[in-house]
């Protein structure tokens, strides 16, 4: 997993290391839903994961939209950490989530549609009871 960006250097490497450290053994989902999505719905399984959000050229409008979406999905958010990098003009946010693959995918998808926002999600293979 790489968040490399021209001029991002150490900042992007630190962010990627945080994600790797938090979720060793996690696998990326291009759609945010595992191959067992039918079984997840049937059993109401929650998954633990992280959503990495990078705001390139952040402005107040984009930040407000991201904040609004995170507030809309507050029930699946366990915690978050924001790291602004004034040198490169990039802000990174790591959001720890616990919820259905469907809900996590919906949040990731909506965030990814915002202009100037890059999103990667990773889910652990750990299944948590409802």
pLDDT attached to residue 43: 58
Using one digit for the tens of pLDDT, what is the confidence trace for 77-114?
999 999 999 888 899 999 999 999 999 999 999 999 99
Question: DSSP state, 114?
Answer: S
Are residues 71 and 95 in contact, defined by beta-carbon separation less than 8 angstroms?
no
pLDDT attached to residue 108: 96
pLDDT attached to residue 59: 86
Task: Classify domain 9-128 by CATH number.
Answer: 3.30.70.1150
Please state, in angstroms and rounded to a whole number, the distance separating the CA atoms of residues 101 and 46: 7
pLDDT attached to residue 57: 80
Domain borders along the chain are: 9-128
Kindly report the CA angle at 82 between 123 and 55, in degrees rounded to 5?
Answer: 85
Please state, in angstroms and rounded to a whole number, the distance separating the CA atoms of residues 24 and 104: 19
pLDDT attached to residue 25: 44
pLDDT attached to residue 64: 93
Using one digit for the tens of pLDDT, what is the confidence trace for 19-50?
665 555 444 443 344 445 445 445 568 899 99
Per the model's pLDDT, the better-predicted residue between 55 and 8 turns out to be 55
Question: DSSP state, 74?
Answer: G
Q: In this model, does residue 11 exceed pLDDT 70?
A: no
């Amino acid at each position: 997993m790489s968040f490399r960006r021209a001029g991002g250097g150490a900042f992007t490497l630190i962010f990627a290391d945080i994600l790797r450290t938090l979720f060793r053994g996690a696998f990326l989902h291009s759609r945010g839903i595992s191959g067992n999505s039918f079984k997840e719905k049937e059993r109401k399984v929650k998954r633990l994961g992280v959503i990495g959000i990078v705001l390139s050229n952040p402005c107040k409008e984009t930040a407000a939209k991201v904040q609004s979406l995170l507030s809309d999905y507050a029930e699946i958010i366990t915690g978050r950490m924001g790291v602004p990098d004034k040198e490169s003009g990039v802000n990174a946010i790591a959001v720890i989530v616990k919820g259905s693959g469907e809900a996590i995918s919906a949040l990731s998808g909506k965030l990814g549609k915002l202009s100037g926002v890059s999103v990667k999600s990773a889910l652990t293979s750990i299944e948590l009871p409802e």
